[in-house]
């Protein structure tokens, strides 16, 4: 199946999920159309990571249903329809794996039984490295990168995977302004090429320049829609339990 502009990339209906004794998500309904960037916003503990886990099929719903391009999360992963950039990568920074090898990991699902990369795999790795500005650091080990560079390497790994849906858990955490601008630019390029992106972020001021849609989560979906409609003082107070200085993110300031 080739996702098109009119396809629904993410469809979540009545999802409740959590952990023993913790209902992290309750009655979550969410639709993200293909080819969009959707920002996922919520306070610490509001359920963003749990939602990602449910979308990836790593956490089973207690109730409700998750579909990615009309398929179950497991089926979507088997067909390489979804990739994930975690907040904290599991790769030990002291493990002697190079940047290039890390990005090639994104191709593992595409390799045949010999596990040998072909020319197309190398091309995808090359273009992902260039896209995130790490081509010159390809031979460094992951441990030799700065935190922000390491995040770009893991983003490149996900780009190389070439899945039509990318889930990114706080890609801007701990990155400087230049890296952040580069990452936003890369996410826009991916979107323009037809990729759907769900991006959790605590950087509220950056959202209007990043995403067409925002989902405000607080165990359930408090609001969803364009940034100017969702990022209002009132709604953010509901989500964060306090009045935030929204600055450039506020609806009024976004009006031309």
Ligand X SMILES: Nc1ncnc2c1ncn2[C@@H]1O[C@H](COP(=O)(O)OP(=O)(O)OP(=O)(O)O)[C@@H](O)[C@H]1O
User: Can you give the binding site for ligand X, defined by CB under 6 A?
Assistant: 19, 22, 24, 42, 44-50
CB nearer to ligand X: give 46 or 158.
46
Query: Whose structure tokens read 């090639």?
Result: 104
CB nearer to ligand X: give 42 or 57.
42
CB nearer to ligand X: give 39 or 134.
39
CB of residue 49 to ligand X, shortest distance in Å: 3
Answer whether 231's CB lies under 8 Å from 214's CB.
yes
Between CA 66 and CA 189 the distance in angstroms is: 27
CB of residue 195 to ligand X, shortest distance in Å: 22
CB of residue 203 to ligand X, shortest distance in Å: 12
CB of residue 22 to ligand X, shortest distance in Å: 4
CB nearer to ligand X: give 129 or 204.
204
Alpha carbon of 245 to those of 15, 17, 118, 175: distances in Å? 31, 32, 51, 21
Burial of 48-67, coded b for 16+ CB within 10 Å and e otherwise, reads bbbbbbbbbbebebeebebb
**DSSP state, residue 98:** B
């Amino acid at each position: 199946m080739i996702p098109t502009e009119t396809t629904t990339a993410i469809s979540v209906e009545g999802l409740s999920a959590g952990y023993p004794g913790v209902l992290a998500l309750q009655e979550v309904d969410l639709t993200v159309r293909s080819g969009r960037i959707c920002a996922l916003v919520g306070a610490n503990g509001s359920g963003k990571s749990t939602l990602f886990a449910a979308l990836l099929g790593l956490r089973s719903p207690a109730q409700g249903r998750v579909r990615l391009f009309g398929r179950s999360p497991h089926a979507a992963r088997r067909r390489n329809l979804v990739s994930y950039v975690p907040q904290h990568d599991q790769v030990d920074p002291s493990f002697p794996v190079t940047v290039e090898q890390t990005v090639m990991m994104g191709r593992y699902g595409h390799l045949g039984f010999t596990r040998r990369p072909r020319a197309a795999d190398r091309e995808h790795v090359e273009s992902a490295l260039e896209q995130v500005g790490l081509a010159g650091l390809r031979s460094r080990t992951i441990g030799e990168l700065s935190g922000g560079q390491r995040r770009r390497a893991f983003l490149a790994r996900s780009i190389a995977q070439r899945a039509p849906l990318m889930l990114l858990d706080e890609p801007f955490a701990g990155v400087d302004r230049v890296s952040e601008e580069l990452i936003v630019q890369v996410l826009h390029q991916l979107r323009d090429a037809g990729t759907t992106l769900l991006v959790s972020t605590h950087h509220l001021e950056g959202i209007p320049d990043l995403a067409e849609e925002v989902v405000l989560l607080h165990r359930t979906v408090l609001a969803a829609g364009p940034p100017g409609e969702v990022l209002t003082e009132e709604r953010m107070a509901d989500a964060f339990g306090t009045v935030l200085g929204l600055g450039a993110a506020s609806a009024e300031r976004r009006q031309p």
